[in-house]
Amino acid sequence: MIAEAYGPSGHEHIIREVIRDEIKSLADEVRVDALGNLIAHRKAVGATPRKKVMLAAHMDEIGVMVTHIDEKGFLRFASLGGVFANTLVGHRCRFENGIIGAFGQEKKNSSRTETQLDKMFIDIGARDGKNSPINVGDAAGFWREFTDLGDRMIAKTMDDRIGCAVLIETLRQLKKSPHEIFAVFTVQEEVGVRGATTSAFGVQPDVAIAIDVTDTGDTPESNTMAVALGKGPAIKVKDSGMLAHRGVKTALITAAQENKIPYQLEVLTGGSTDAMAMQVSREGVPAGVVSIPTRYVHTPSEMVDFDDAQNAVKLLVAFLGKPIKLD
């Protein structure tokens, strides 16, 4: 199960094998690079390959890393990626060895409403700190089971396992493409798009698309944002790390319109994606993003709409099935 697999930034070896199993029959060649990116290469169909297209979805999830084990066996931790303290209280995390811990917080000198990571700890139910099954430096992801709500789904790590799922499904549904396709399941996005930085250098694409989640503005008293669940995949215009290439953005919009696929335009004021790194790789790469609208991003309960994911696949298949004009 892609959404539930363990894989905090820098610790993607388990989720990588889950995805490798899914894609090995869908690609001509699959390899893992020096940083751990999983790179699936699909050759172009037709006499002259049009473009080398890199598609990136990140495998890693935000999580925590143990910094100290105290005498009583409580674990102090640091964040891996953008973890908000107020989303942790009462939640659980899971280590690579399967051990589950509960997040607790210091009560003395702390407020119930304003939580700080350095006043929190993980309780794995240990009687003391001796022979702890956990070591300093061990990483954990959040732990919640995947839930299907019918039209919508909740998981601890829709960011960006929904992108991984969309990318796998795109490879499955894309029967023929005039383009040479590199589907890259990247590492370490949440700590600074590091996997995309190195894989883009290695792949050296002509066009790059990230598939990632984006925020929405459709919940009670949410920040103003013209993206909602269920209204289709979002084609990125801008976020805080990049301006989407005009040509790529337009080509995506055209593909959606020609195939009557619902879409939304996205302007995200905080956060970015792997496209930020791919865009400035080597001498520059035209880059865009297909985003899956997601509520409660960077919490243990990220929610997406099933149709949005399906339509994202349709959009990518349509985009990749024809020559890409970047005027």
Q: Nearer to other proteins by C-beta: 78 or 226?
A: 78
Q: Does 13 bind other proteins (CB under 8 A)?
A: yes
Q: Does 199 bind other proteins (CB under 8 A)?
A: yes
Q: Does 70 bind other proteins (CB under 8 A)?
A: yes
The contact mask relative to other proteins for 155-194 (x = CB under 8 A, - = no) is: ---------------------------------x--x--x
Q: Which of 2, 5, 6, 10 binds other proteins (CB under 8 A)?
A: 10
Q: Does 34 bind other proteins (CB under 8 A)?
A: yes
Q: Which of 1, 47, 71, 127 binds other proteins (CB under 8 A)?
A: 71
Q: Does 36 bind other proteins (CB under 8 A)?
A: yes
Reading the block at residue 233, the tokens are: 């995949």
The contact mask relative to other proteins for 116-155 (x = CB under 8 A, - = no) is: --------------------xx------------------
The edge-to-edge listing of strands for the beta sheet with 234-238 is 29-32, 38-42, 180-186, 52-58, 207-214, 287-293, 234-238, 264-267
The edge-to-edge listing of strands for the beta sheet with 152-155 is 147-148, 152-155, 302-305
Q: Nearer to other proteins by C-beta: 136 or 226?
A: 136
Question: CA 319, CA 323: separation in Å to the nearest integer?
Answer: 8
Question: CA 35, CA 197: separation in Å to the nearest integer?
Answer: 10
How far, in Å, are 5, 31, 78, 144 from residue 94 at the CA level?
Answer: 10, 28, 15, 9
- For the four alpha carbons of 175, 55, 200 and 65, in that order, the dihedral sign comes to negative
- Asked whether 289 and 210 are in contact (CB, 8 A), the reply is yes
- Hey, what amino acid is at 123? D
Beta pairing class for 52-58 and 207-214: parallel
Supply the residues annotated as catalytic. Answer: 189
Q: Does 244 bind other proteins (CB under 8 A)?
A: no
Q: Does 79 bind other proteins (CB under 8 A)?
A: yes
> Using CB under 8 A as the criterion, which residues of the chain lie in contact with other proteins when the complex forms?
9-11, 13, 16, 32-37, 65-68, 70-72, 76-80, 136-137, 188, 191, 194-195, 197-199, 201-202
